Structure 1
Amino acid sequence: MATRLGLSLPQLRQYDIGKDVPEVARAAEQIGYEGLWVFERALFPEPATQGLYGIEGLPWPDQYRHVADPMVTLTLAAAATERALLGSSVLVAPLHVPFQLAKSLATLDAASGGRVVAGLGTGWSLDEYAASAVRPFEERGQVLDEVIEVCRAVWGADPVSYDGRTTKIAPAVVGPKPARPIPILLAANTKKARRRLVDHADGWLPIGMGAEQLAAQWRELQDLAAERGRTEPIRTVLRVNAVYTGKTYDGADRQPFQGDAGQIAEDLAAHAEVGMDEILIDLQSTPRDAQELKDAAAEVYEKARAAGI
C-alpha cells in the first residue's frame, strides 16, 4: 500500500492566515495530499532563556517568532476541504485546559465529518509553560496522561464524569461528540513516553532525521508493544521538516530533506521504506508566499510519487 502523504499548513509570518490557509488546504487536497497538518509554538522568548528543545546554546529558529494558533488554522482548513485528514504534530497538550481541548477537538471532528487526528506532546519550552501551562513543567507527563484520559471521557458516552488532579467533571452531558473515535498519536521521545504510547495511545509521531535512526526507533517501539502485550497496530505519521531550495543543493553539509524536490523525494523514499503509514512534509519555512508554497508542494508530491512512494 502506498504511503500516505500529508502537507503542513502555512502558519508562519509570511502568510496571510485567513486567506492562505484555506487556499493552500484546497490546493493540497487537489494535488493529492491526504492529510493537512499543524504544529504549535506559543511564543518566542527574547532574550532566550534556554536553547531550542532545551539544548543549551542551540538558537530558536527565527520562524518561531510568529506561529498561528494550530486549532484556528485547522478550523480554517476544515471549512475549505472535504476529504483530507486534519492533524496536529504536535499540540503541546499541557498548555491547554484538558476539558476545553477535548471539547474543541470533538467539535472540529464533528464539523469536519470525522477527519481529526490528535497528535499530542509535552513540549520543552519553560517560557511556554510559564505563560500558559495548567501545571508546572515538572508535571508535564502527568498532565499529558490526564489530557488523554479526559479526551477519552469527553468523547465517550454521556453522562461524562472524571475526577483527576486538574480536571473535575461532575456527571454531565457533553456535546457535540466526535463523528468517530479520534485517534490520539504521541511524539514519545523517551522510554517512559514510549510506554505511555504503547499502553494508552493509537499511534506515533516521529521526526525524520535519517532512515536508519527511524528504523531503529520503530523496531524499539514494536518490541515494546510486543513485550507489553499490545495487539492493536500502531499508526505512524512521520514528520519531515524540509528545507526546499528550488535548486539542487550540492554541498557536503546537506541535511536530510534539504534541497530541490528531487533530493527531498529521494530522502522521503528512504524513510518510506521503514514502513510509515503517512509522511507529513513541512515545506512552509522557505517559500515567500502561498503561491510558492503551493508550487513546491505540487513538485515534491509529483517527485515523491514518481520515486515510488
Structure 2
Amino acid sequence: MAVRLGLGLPQMRQYDLGRDVPDVARAAEQTGYESLWVFERVLFPEPATQGLYGIPGLPWPDQYRSVADPLVTLTLAAAVTERARLGTSVLVAPLHVPFQLARSLASLDAASGGRVIAGLGTGWSLDEYAAAAVAPFERRGKVLDELLDVCRAVWGPDPVAYEGELTTITPSEVGPKPARPIPVLLPASSPRALRRLVDRADGWMPVGMGAGKLAEQWREIQELAGERGRTAPFQNVLRVNTQHTPKAYEGQDRAPFQGSVAQIVDDLAAHAEVGIEEILLDLQGRARDAEELKDLAAEVYEAARAAGI
C-alpha cells in the first residue's frame, strides 16, 4: 500500500493567511494529499534565551518571525476541504489551557466531520514558556499528562468531571463532542516520553532524521510496547521539514530532505521503507508565495507517486 502523503499549510510571514490557506488547502486536496498540517511557534525572541531546539548557538530561522495560529489555520482549511484530515504537528501543550484546547479540538473535529489528528508535544523554547505557558518549563511533562487526561474526559460522555493540578471540572455537560475518537500522536525521545507514547497515545510523530536513526527509534518503541503489554497498533506520521533547492545539492554534508525534488523523493523512499504509514511534507519555508508552494507541492507529490511511494 502506498504511503499517505500530507502537506504543511502556509503559516509563515510571506503568505496571506485569509487568502493563501484556503487556496493551498483546496489545491492540496485536489492534487491528492490526504492530510493538511500545522505547527506552532508563538514568538521570535531577540535575542533568544537559547538556540533553536535548545541547541546553544543555533539561530532561529527567519521564517519563525511570524507564524499564524495553528488552530485558526486549520479552521480555514477545514472550511474549504472535504476529505483531507487536519493535523497538528505539533501543538506545544503547555502553551494552552487544557480544558480550552480540548474543547477547541472537539469543536474542530465536529465541524469537519471527524478529520482532526492531535499531535501534541512539550516544546523546547524557554522564551515561549515565559510568555505563554500555564506552568513552568520544568513541569512540561506533567502538563502534557494532564492535558491528555482532560482531553479524554472532555471528549468522553457527559457528565464530564475532572480534578487535576491545573484543571477542575465539576460534573458538567461539555459539547460539542468530537465526531469520532480523535487520535493523539506524540513525538518521543526521552525514556519518560517513550513510556507516555506507548501507554497513552494512539501513534508516534517523529521527524525526518535519517532512515537509519528512524528505524532504530521505531524498533525501540515496538520493543517497549511489547515489554509494557501494549497490543493496540501504532499510527505513525513522519514530519519532514524540507530544504528544497532548484538544483541538486552536491555537498557531502547534505542533510535528509535537503536538495532537489529528486533528492527529496529519494529520502522519502528510504524513510518509507522503515514502516512509516504517512509522511507530512512541510515545503512552505523556502517558497516565495502560495503559487510557488502549490507548484512545488504538486511536483513532489507526482514524483513521489511515480517512484512508487
TM-score range, shorter chain: over 0.9
| Equivalences for residues 49-198 of structure 1 within 5 A | 49-198=49-198
1:161 is paired with a residue of what secondary structure?
A: strand
1:53 is paired with a residue of what secondary structure?
A: helix
1:61-90 per-position Cα deviation (integer Å, ceiling 9, x unaligned) = 111111110000000000010000000110
Partner residue, 1:287: 287
- Cα displacement (A) at 1:230: 0.2
1:12-40 per-position Cα deviation (integer Å, ceiling 9, x unaligned) = 01000110000000000001000100000
Partner residue, 2:300: 300
Counterparts of 2:126 and 2:258, CA distance in 1: 30
Partner residue, 2:246: 246
Partner residue, 1:24: 24
Counterparts of 1:178 and 1:93, CA distance in 2: 19
- Cα displacement (A) at 1:245: 1.3
Partner residue, 1:265: 265
- Cα displacement (A) at 1:249: 1.8
- Cα displacement (A) at 1:251: 2.2
Identity of aligned residues (%): 75
1:135 is paired with a residue of what secondary structure?
A: coil
1:286 is paired with a residue of what secondary structure?
A: coil
Partner residue, 2:220: 220
- Code of the residue aligned with 1:247 in structure 2: it is K
Counterparts of 2:186 and 2:277, CA distance in 1: 15
- Cα displacement (A) at 1:246: 2.3
Counterparts of 1:39 and 1:204, CA distance in 2: 16
Counterparts of 1:220 and 1:195, CA distance in 2: 11
- Indicate yes or no: 2:278 matched with 1:255: no
- Cα displacement (A) at 1:143: 0.3
- Indicate yes or no: 2:278 matched with 1:278: yes
Counterparts of 1:248 and 1:229, CA distance in 2: 46
1:141-178 per-position Cα deviation (integer Å, ceiling 9, x unaligned) = 00000000000100000000000000000000000000
Counterparts of 1:131 and 1:191, CA distance in 2: 28
Counterparts of 2:167 and 2:189, CA distance in 1: 26
1:182 is paired with a residue of what secondary structure?
A: coil
Counterparts of 2:255 and 2:155, CA distance in 1: 41
1:244-283 per-position Cα deviation (integer Å, ceiling 9, x unaligned) = 1122222222211111111100100000000111000000
Retained in 2: the 8 A contact 1:244–1:296? Answer: no
1:89-141 per-position Cα deviation (integer Å, ceiling 9, x unaligned) = 10000100000000000000000000000000000111111111111110000
Number of residues of Structure 1 aligned to a counterpart in Structure 2: 309
1:279 is paired with a residue of what secondary structure?
A: strand
Counterparts of 1:159 and 1:167, CA distance in 2: 16
1:301 is paired with a residue of what secondary structure?
A: helix
Counterparts of 2:246 and 2:231, CA distance in 1: 44
Counterparts of 1:274 and 1:246, CA distance in 2: 28
Retained in 2: the 8 A contact 1:119–1:205? Answer: yes
- Cα displacement (A) at 1:54: 1.1
1:40-67 per-position Cα deviation (integer Å, ceiling 9, x unaligned) = 0011111111111111111111111111
- Code of the residue aligned with 2:207 in structure 1: it is I
Counterparts of 1:56 and 1:250, CA distance in 2: 28
TM-score (norm 1): 0.99
- Code of the residue aligned with 2:33 in structure 1: it is Y
TM-score (norm 2): 0.99
- Code of the residue aligned with 1:269 in structure 2: it is A
Counterparts of 1:70 and 1:5, CA distance in 2: 19
Which structure 1 segments of 5+ residues have no match? none
Partner residue, 2:237: 237
Runs of 4+ in 1 over 4 A off after TM superposition: none
Counterparts of 1:242 and 1:136, CA distance in 2: 32
Partner residue, 1:200: 200
